[in-house]
Structure formats: structure tokens, C-alpha cells
Amino acid sequence: MLATMKNVIHVMQGQINFTREYQEIGSSEAIWVNPMELFLKQESFFSGAGISFLAIPSEIYVFADPLFEKVIYNRIDNSIRDGMHVSRICLSVWINGDYEEIIDG
């Protein structure tokens, strides 16, 4: 029973945090960021998860909301929590015609 209550509180806290962050989207001006740098910066938050990070070097920058870093964090977190036997997370960025592609896996 106590474990269930703690789980419900954890889920509610996550929803409150998400709502707060979602509300901030667009409140700051977009900035130029290197997705690879943001990806590798997140590695320290997951150092105890036993996951290796692989980023294919790229000098491509994207013009994004400052919360783009949170998007990358959430992709990594979701991969670890929802993936089956995740041992490595990779990110690559390249230009495909008129568009930039960011691929994680």
C-alpha cells in the first residue's frame, strides 16, 4: 500500500514538473545549440545506469528553444526506463537535403 502511494506521488510530481516545463516552451528566445554537445552533457546524469554513450561528431547546430536540452534528456531517460536491455545510446546529426536529421538509437 505504501509503495503504491509513493508511486502515485512520484507520477503526480512528474506530471507537475512536465506541466511547468511545458508552460515555459517559447518563453525564451531560441538559441543555436549543438545537439552532440547537449547529448554528451547528459551522460553525467546517467553515469550509474551502465549505459555507454556514442555520439558521431558533428559541427551542425540547430536553432532551438533552450528546453531542447530537456528533450534530449527525456529521450535518454525514456530509452533507459522503457527499453529492454539498453546498453548503449547513440546520436547522430546530419543534413539531408534541406533538413537536418537528428537520429537517436
For position 34, what pLDDT does the model report? 92
Whether the CB-CB separation of 67 and 25 falls below 8 Å is answered with yes
* Residue ranges of the chain with per-residue pLDDT less than 70: 11, 14, 17-18, 20-27, 100, 104-105
Contacts of 50 (CB under 8 A, 6+ apart): 87
What's the pLDDT at 31?
92
pLDDT of residue 32: 94
The pLDDT, as a whole number, for residue 25 is: 62
**Domains along the chain with CATH numbers:** 27-104 (3.30.565.10)
pLDDT of residue 23: 65
The reported pTM is 0.68
